[in-house]
Each structure stands twice: as structure tokens, then as C-alpha cells.
A and B are shown apart, each in its own frame.
Chain A
């Protein structure tokens, strides 16, 4: 199993550009989440999904969209990037009845 994979590893955007961060997992996990990590602030939940077709907002959802058309994939879309979205983004997955989240390797995003 590859676990949780994320692409790209690094990305530089200009203000106003759009892009999609990709996340995939091959563990057949129902739950998937997106977090952003900023210095001194830990990891903050952006959006999460409890299954295909079902998504909900986390603590910091503004400026981000998600969809979940399959169990495996959970892309995060930035419609109009802003410098405040410069961060490291982590995708995670977990399965019902367990208490462990499995994190991907992260995407480091810089918005100029």
C-alpha cells in the first residue's frame, strides 16, 4: 500500500491564480481531511469528508473548496490564491471504528 499520497510536493503561485492540491489513499478509508500547518499554530482543519459525496467545513474553510467523488480521492481547490494561504498542506485519512489518522507527506505552497 502507498498509504496517503499528495501532489505536488512544492508549488509557487501568484496572487489570484487557482490550483488543485491532489490527495489519494489506497486503504479504502471512509474519512479524509485537509489540514494546513503554520508555524506556532499547529495543524488546523480546513475541510473533511465522511464518505464519497459528503463533505463539511472545518475550522478554517474560507478560500478553499473540496469535493469527494470517489472513496480514494479528496482534492483541495484554491479558487483565487492569496498570500495568507502560504502554508504546508496535509491530507489525512482514517477509517470508522479506529482512532488513528494517517497523514500524507504534505504540499508546501507559496503564494506571492
Chain B
């Protein structure tokens, strides 16, 4: 079952532009919404995460926007740089502090390319 739908599948952005990746989820029991970044030949690594008690979280050039009523969340990368070129995965999970983070459900992934 596809509990998380991620779009677009691939994205090309010019250096300095804004990259936007979207995710939609189905189950309202999810309580934790991370984004993972994966470089070629490496494992995914946590980039930024949000809980549904806030609508936005910002860390440097990376921002998560969260819309609980629409069951959607998105990743915005401001001033995109060639070093941001990677595959990005959204994920969902019930509260990992209570249940442990070992059962993440991932989106399909977005391959982001930043042109210099």
C-alpha cells in the first residue's frame, strides 16, 4: 500500500534557485515527518524533520512546510547549490519517541540536480 506519495520524481533547478519537493500521506496516525538526503553510493541521512504541532521548521537553507488538514508536507531548499544535488526522501512515522524510529515509511524519492 502506498501510504506516502512524493513528487516530482526528478527536478532540475538552477544554482541560486528554490527547490521544492512535495509529499502527501494518507494515515492521520502519523506523527513524525522527516526528510532524508542520499548522495550517490551512500546511505540516506536525516536532513530535517517536523512534528505536526508546528506548520513550518527552518534549518539554514532547508525548510519544511506542513499542512495537517491537507495531509501534505514539503521541503524547500533556498539558494540551491550544486552540492545539494542528491536524492531526497520524505518519510512518515507514528511518534518515534514512543514507538521507536525503526519503521519509517518512505516516499518514492526525488532526484534533485542543481545546475551551476
Contact = CB atoms under 8 A, between A and B. Distances in A.
Nearest to B1: A59
Contact of B45 (A33, A97, A98, A103): A103
Interface in A32-80: 32-33, 35, 40-45, 48-50, 58-59
A25 interface: no
Contact of A40 (B9, B44, B49, B89): B9
Interface residues on A, range: 20 to 34
Given A99-B34, A99-B49, A99-B96, A43 B101 contact: no
Contact of B44 (A31, A90, A94): A90
Interface string A96-111: 1111110111100000
Contacts of B109: 40, 42
Given A94-B100, A94-B102, A98-B97, A42 B46 contact: no
A98 B96 CA distance: 7
Nearest to B44: A103
B101 A42 contact: no
Contact of A101 (B6, B42, B101): B101
Nearest to A97: B97
B43 A4 contact: yes
